[in-house]
Chain A
Amino acid sequence: MSTLKIGVYICHCGGNISHYVDVEEVRAAVAGEPGVVVAKTAMFTCSDATQQEIIADIREHNLEGLVVASCSPKLHLFTFRETARRAGLNPYQYTQVNLREQCSWAHRNNRRAATEKAVRLVRAGIARTNLTVPLEPFKIETVPAVLVVGAGVAGLRAAVGMADLGMNVYLLEKEAQPGGWVNRPGKMYPAGRVGKEIIAQLLAEVQERERITLFTGAEIVEKSGSVGNFQVKVRVGGRRRQEISLNVGAVIVATGFDVYRPAACEYGYGFTGVVTLPEYWDLLAAANGNLIYRRKEIKDVVYIYCVGSRQDPEKENAHSYCSRYCCSAAVYAALQTAEINPQIRQYHLYRDMRTYGKSELLFTRAREQGVRFLKFAGDNPPRVEEQAGGRLQVTVCDLLTYGEEVEIRADLVVLVTGMVPRENEQLVKVLKLPLGKDGFFNEIHPKLRPVETVVDGVFICGAAQGPKDYPESVASALAAVTQSAALLKKGYVELEPLVATVDPERCRWCGECAAVCPYAAIEKGQYLYRQVAWVNEAVCKGCGGCAPVCPGQAIDLRGYTDAQIKAMIDGLLKGGL
């Protein structure tokens, strides 16, 4: 077996490893492994001093491979790749062995066995390193343009932001009119501005910017290419249907949400006088002195909260999440109602008052103005019945009145409806967008990577990724702007070279690999006069799914070749079990 000259460093991790594993014994056990020229232990391998020592060793011994047995590669893979690079060693000839999460922390009460396992793990790492070859990341030039899908408040703000950073923006709106749910005549919390005016202002800003092209009645129908350089096809509606091809470096999805539509008879929906929050919102905007519904003046209004939200998770297709905006929107509607006519009596039947942050002040104001709040339990919702004379009767078990069942007579019942994911099958299919359990688009990490998706170069923002009010939608839109601009401004992206490769001599193009690839990275290609599998290296994530299904063993994964995996297994098993 051919070997490289390898340096091995075993870390105490300040005791995290050495309390449970005899690191000195591990060092002694692997020092004689094929290829090992240097074998040392260190208190903190990631410290500057030890990194300097590693660099000096690499230079002095002309090392060709490096193994650090320490913590998870999630923490320090890039640290030590960089150490290797600084010493003139190819970063891909470095292997990190995880002795902490995968050994010492897991086996705290058996030092003997933990030490033996550590020896085997390090041997496997050395075996893999012996078979590494120098690799370079792929560089892909990025196109300084972005596609924004959805022209609601989030999409419009994202478009303006991208244009101001010098990017060309194609803004797609499916409907004939841009603006989304904010584009309505009603006033909105927190600033009390009319939704339509907010949209009009944003549209004016869009119009001022030559870099932005807005397509209405437009939908994306096809996407190919990869991060930094996508080709997309867009179908523009209107009288003359037309397909347009665009070239963009990133895609921002801002397709928003839909409002929950109550089922027939749910809380009396269908009775005259039972309306949803958006319907009531329009009614308020149209009010002039008095609140009129179907030519009748409204005196008593009952609101029922959490309609279509926080449903029992046991129920099929339940919307079990909180829709977040509706408590504040309903309380704000109460204040507007009181402004229109302070004589109107309002009863808010809620489950929990989630007027978080500054909206808490709206709740206090509403109470001070005499709006009455009653609390019901999720498993004992209010009932709505029609009464003779066209009035409605609501019965609720009010927890604030010690669980007493009370009756309220009302002219209008407002169902405070929540947010649900918007039907967007075509878009999901074309962009391969990941959906969460709740049906909204999923980010990679809700805290640390909140607008990125697993599809490189495709970002999400606004209420498309889950319930948000409009300031939150705008904030996430600007986060998506920053993330995509950070990607495109550099001018190129560097991609990991650890991808699948096809040996065309062996490939017979059976298509098995293409069928299993979750990223659609494998296409049909040409080799001499034959058809063979071809891997789009920019799209391949190196997951390895394709390699084992190939009947002719024509596919290998760079950095994790079959030969390397076999050598690692031999390393793990060396000396018997």
Chain B
Amino acid sequence: MPLVDPEFLAEVKRSPAFNAEACLNCGVCSAVCPLEIELLPRKLFRYVLLGFKDRILANTETIYSCLLCKMCEANCPQEVSIAENVRALRFWINKKVFQL
């Protein structure tokens, strides 16, 4: 059973542009994604908010497959900067996994 890691959000949140907290889980983003990626972005944001680091690390491929087309962002009712958030997460993975 995953344990909530309260510190993780701060670790990913490099700049105030990261605003996945505002997500209200409506699912519009997942519905409009041209790649039909199941994980992105709603579920991914849950993992970040609750600090399920392992889940994120297990999904690096998926996180990199995002086109950053912003289809989701254009439709998000909460104006979540989804693309920017994915970028922030890639930045964290680059450091953490690839030691870039």
> Which residues of A are at the interface with B, using a C-beta cutoff of 8 A?
299-300, 345, 347, 364, 367-372, 374, 395, 398, 400-402, 404-409
Contacts and interface: CB of A to CB of B under 8 A. Distances in A.
20 contacts: A300-B6, A347-B4, A367-B23, A367-B78, A368-B19, A368-B22, A369-B21, A370-B9, A370-B21, A371-B21, A372-B50, A374-B50, A395-B1, A400-B25, A406-B3, A406-B4, A406-B50, A407-B2, A407-B4, A409-B4
A369 B49 CA distance: 12
A364 B22 contact: yes
Contact of B46 (A369, A371, A401): A401
A405 B4 CA distance: 10
B4 A367 contact: no
* Contact count band on B: 10 to 19
A407 B3 CA distance: 5
Contacts of B43: 401-402
Contact of A406 (B1, B19, B23): B1
Contacts of B1: 395, 405-407
Contacts of A398: 46, 50
B31 interface: no
Interface string B13-35: 00000010111110000000000
B33 to A, nearest CB: 16
Contacts of A404: 2
B23 A401 contact: no
A406 B9 CA distance: 16
| Leading 9 A-B pairs by shortest Cβ distance | A401-B46, A345-B6, A408-B4, A407-B3, A370-B21, A400-B25, A368-B22, A405-B1, A367-B22
A421 B7 CA distance: 42
Contacts of B46: 398, 400-402
A405 B22 CA distance: 22
Contacts of A345: 6
B78 to A, nearest CB: 7
Given A367-B22, A374-B50, A407-B2, 10 more contacts: A300-B6, A347-B4, A368-B21, A371-B21, A395-B1, A401-B43, A401-B46, A402-B43, A406-B50, A409-B3
A347 B3 CA distance: 13
Contact of A364 (B25, B47, B50, B78): B78
Contact of A367 (B6, B9, B24): B24
A190 to B, nearest CB: 21
Nearest to B3: A407
A29 B13 CA distance: 87
Contacts of B24: 364, 367
A406 B2 CA distance: 5
Contacts of B22: 364, 367-368
A406 B50 CA distance: 9
A508 B59 CA distance: 91
A372 B6 CA distance: 10
A372 B21 contact: yes
